[in-house]
Structure 1
């Protein structure tokens, strides 16, 4: 569950607690209000009875019975309540019950039972009536239980309605506010994910909130530094690769010019000795033939070494012819056990340095890896332009590759390919196909990117 939903549910929980507390407070106040009204009614009756006695004693008029029932009728007491006057000897009793106002809304049974357990809906307010140190009787105001429960239920419904709408509105407003406040976090996470995938040119925008703005500035500064370091490392790696290729070219030229000439001289001298031996010394012909075989083997080994050091075909024939020749040699070498297929665009022969020789090396290493480890019957190599400034190399086979072992470690060959691609400013994707085999997808810029941090892409 994301942070927004967690905060929203917590706000709703707090709102629910406030709603319950408010409901309890409303019920408590309803009960207290009813009791207060009963006590005030008893006090008003006491004052009216006092005035009646004062009139009776001052005028000596005892024609009206005490207490006067009209006094009780004129008082507007609590709806549904009953007023009683009990003389001290209970020889006289006056009682009056106010009319019960029936409400169409009835309360649930559980509410009535709960209200009776928590409060006293049948409360009685009692006051002893005394005048001139003489106690005449007891004034009792009794609340009507059903009326009080109905009033409490009505108040509760009103409060519940208002608070429910208010809490829901506040929760939605808070949720929208939280959503707006946390939107920078989504952009930051999205930007970090892109940076983790290698898109160091990604930049997080600035925000109005100070904390988020400082966070984005720090991340952008770190990304710029990392991008600069990666660019410098890529430039150094490219220089190293170029230096290695130049060294390989120098060594191959020296081997070809010096060692190759020496082998050619040995081969010519051996041929001359063999011709002379046929006339003058036939017994050494077998030795001269052995020397010729050894020389031929050394020449073959030298050509293989020169090819590995520096593929001269790339400089002389171009990348297309070189790869076709390489594929043909691997098909002959495997004897039909693995069929290598090549699809290549014609425009790749015009690629700038150092792309041609590096592409040749990548394909060469890929074919070696397939022949050694894939146990495949077919492999496809595709080299084509995606657009004018981007080239794609795809190498896939139908061999056997385990995803677990592939994820845990990468072989030396694949690691070398990955380092070479990174040095050229490209991207490499390696995945295990569902039908088996390894799929290698390489995207390379036609011109290696300059080391710069000005190119920025905002999230």
Structure 2
């Protein structure tokens, strides 16, 4: 179903529901109007017998009839009419109640063009009693009742329109919200993709446009997931190639260059012993022996950088703690080294894979090299810890040395480098990616 068809179908149902509600309100107003008409008819039915009884009533009984007629006028239940009654001398016995706002009613009557016809529309007649008394009665038009009825009609129509509009707006809001609700799932998936989590797949959606977006995002996530897997595989191959090359270089340096240096040091020692009686030659021999020792130390340091001490004879790596301990101790043993290096490993019962162990070691090694060469730090703190859920390892290196230029202008601060690496069990090679 397309979005337009979905919204159109919902709009039809919403309009039908709104019309039904408006019809209920209109029926309520109609029932009220019918009740007003019935009460007006009842009042007229009470008025006519009272006027007829006035002809036959004794003088003492007439006041009761006058009071009843006044009550009928005061009830305002005779729709559109007032009773006016006066005696032969012109004394008013029954009259219309005082107008609520004569100026306002008069203005509305003048606007409708009916004020001039009020006297012409008046119905008059005489009532003669048995004792010869004469009363003049008149039914006068009640403009207030007409205007009140018109006002009620306008208010009722406005109420029906207001109810219909409110229900229609609410229904449209509900329908649009339902139609666009899948956008929240789409946005949530995009936020996951921004954090490089491409495992999220969106479920089928009811509208065709939203479902097309869903299929496109799912396809994109699949492609990105495959690309990330390929990148991880390439990273693992690169890491393996680098470590293989480092191991080859380490073997060459140890087996070939190391033996040559050992032989040179032995020859230099021999020259030192044989040149006891030749001070100048002995000085050169001592210098040669010193150079050989210094080169051998540098080669040993280089071998340590190329291949950690924690590598077992069968090629297996030691634990992270052991590798980190050897690395930190090597830096502490450097001549003239004044930087305090602290480290902490808190993996709990988690045993990371060999690739992840080597990755953590290389990252720490590079960070320490940068700190020692460029930061001028007095203290370095290394921390490797598993997350609470045990699904990843958090690695951080902090130092109090100089950072970039604008930060360094504010003096020494603690610089920090952090990373979060996936920890997969049982010990997969993918952990290094």
What TM-score comes out, normalization by structure 1 length? 0.57
Aligned counterpart for 2:281 among listed residues 272, 280, 284: 284
Q: Which residue of 2 is the match for residue 358 of structure 1?
A: 359
1:384 Cα deviation (Å)?
A: 3.3
Give the match's secondary structure for 2:324: helix
Q: Which residue of 2 is the match for residue 445 of structure 1?
A: 423
Residues 232 and 430, structure 2, Cα contact 8 Å, conserved in 1: no
Aligned counterpart for 2:292 among listed residues 288, 295, 310: 295
Separation in structure 2 between the aligned mates of residue 165 and residue 404 of structure 1, nearest angstrom: 67
1:271 Cα deviation (Å)?
A: 1.0
1:335 Cα deviation (Å)?
A: 6.3
Q: Which residue of 2 is the match for residue 122 of structure 1?
A: 113
Matching of residues 170-249 of structure 1 within 5 Å: 170-249=168-247
Residues 376 and 402, structure 2, Cα contact 8 Å, conserved in 1: no
1:145/1:349 CA distance change after superposition, 3 Å: closer
Q: C-alpha deviations, 1:285-330, integer Å up to 9, x for none? A: 1111111111112112212222222223344682322211222333
Residues 271 and 285, structure 2, Cα contact 8 Å, conserved in 1: yes
Q: Which residue of 1 is the match for residue 127 of structure 2?
A: none
Q: Check if 1:327 corresponds to 2:324.
A: no
Q: Which runs of 5+ in 1 are unaligned?
A: 1-6, 16-77, 82-98, 127-142, 407-434, 452-459
Q: C-alpha deviations, 1:202-259, integer Å up to 9, x for none? A: 1112112222112101110111011101101110111111111101100111111111
Separation in structure 2 between the aligned mates of residue 295 and residue 376 of structure 1, nearest angstrom: 32
Matching of residues 30-179 of structure 1 within 5 Å: 79=80, 120-122=111-113, 150-179=148-177
Q: C-alpha deviations, 1:150-171, integer Å up to 9, x for none? A: 4443222112212212211222
Q: C-alpha deviations, 1:97-132, integer Å up to 9, x for none? A: xx999998x89x8xx99x97xx94236899xxxxxx
Separation in structure 2 between the aligned mates of residue 121 and residue 363 of structure 1, nearest angstrom: 95
Q: Which residue of 1 is the match for residue 309 of structure 2?
A: 312
Residues 381 and 398, structure 2, Cα contact 8 Å, conserved in 1: yes
Q: Which residue of 1 is the match for residue 24 of structure 2?
A: none
Residues 80 and 101, structure 1, Cα contact 8 Å, conserved in 2: no
Separation in structure 1 between the aligned mates of residue 326 and residue 190 of structure 2, nearest angstrom: 45
Q: Which residue of 2 is the match for residue 94 of structure 1?
A: none
Q: Which residue of 2 is the match for residue 38 of structure 1?
A: none
Q: Which residue of 1 is the match for residue 398 of structure 2?
A: 397
Separation in structure 2 between the aligned mates of residue 103 and residue 174 of structure 1, nearest angstrom: 46
Q: Which residue of 2 is the match for residue 383 of structure 1?
A: 384
1:386 Cα deviation (Å)?
A: 3.7
Residues 272 and 285, structure 2, Cα contact 8 Å, conserved in 1: yes
Give the match's secondary structure for 1:312: coil
Separation in structure 2 between the aligned mates of residue 272 and residue 248 of structure 1, nearest angstrom: 34
1:371/1:149 CA distance change after superposition, 3 Å: farther
Residues 200 and 227, structure 1, Cα contact 8 Å, conserved in 2: yes
Q: C-alpha deviations, 1:395-443, integer Å up to 9, x for none? A: 242536879989xxxxxxxxxxxxxxxxxxxxxxxxxxxx853251423
Give the match's secondary structure for 2:353: coil
Residues 376 and 401, structure 2, Cα contact 8 Å, conserved in 1: yes
Residues 375 and 401, structure 2, Cα contact 8 Å, conserved in 1: yes
Separation in structure 2 between the aligned mates of residue 404 and residue 221 of structure 1, nearest angstrom: 44
Query: What is the root-mean-square deviation of aligned Cα atoms in Å?
Result: 4.3
Alignment size in residue pairs: 310
Give the match's secondary structure for 1:203: coil
Q: Which residue of 2 is the match for residue 251 of structure 1?
A: 249
1:356 Cα deviation (Å)?
A: 2.3
What TM-score comes out, normalization by structure 2 length? 0.60
Q: C-alpha deviations, 1:174-195, integer Å up to 9, x for none? A: 2122111111011001101110
Residues 377 and 402, structure 2, Cα contact 8 Å, conserved in 1: no
Residues 395 and 440, structure 1, Cα contact 8 Å, conserved in 2: yes
Q: Which runs of 5+ in 2 are unaligned?
A: 1-6, 16-78, 83-94, 118-140, 408-412
Separation in structure 1 between the aligned mates of residue 96 and residue 203 of structure 2, nearest angstrom: 69
Higher RCO (Cα < 8 Å, 6 or more apart): 1
